[in-house]
Amino acid sequence: MAVKLHRCPTMFIKGPHPCWQVQKALDEAGVAYEVVKGPLMRGRRSQMVEKTGQNLYPAIEREDGTWVRRESKALVAMIKAGEFG
């Protein structure tokens, strides 16, 4: 089973977008992952709040079912350090 990247559904936005930065880092690190597109509206992100305590993307769900939610720069650093693959 691969890790899951929980991100916003606006997959077409690139550049400095936080979700895209994390997805790009996973690709570059060769980490197998599944994209889980969540609701765009923050008020509808009940699963994110339940699992991370926040309604912000992105978040990574590890293979053991635990969730990691950090700012995108911190998640990118964790990915580059090999914490997800």
User: Cβ distance 62 to 68 under 8 Å?
Assistant: yes
The domain that contains 9 carries what CATH number? Answer: 3.40.30.10
In a domain, 19, yes or no: yes
Domain range enclosing 67: 3-80
Single-letter amino acid code for the residue at 77: A
Question: How many domains would you assign to the chain?
Answer: 1
pLDDT of residue 36: 97
In a domain, 85, yes or no: no
How many residues make up the chain in this entry? 85
Cis? peptide before 58, omega within 30° of 0: yes
Instruction: List per-residue pLDDT tens for the chain, 85 residues long.
Output: 599 999 999 999 999 999 999 999 999 999 999 999 999 999 999 999 999 999 999 999 999 999 999 999 999 999 999 999 7
In a domain, 47, yes or no: yes
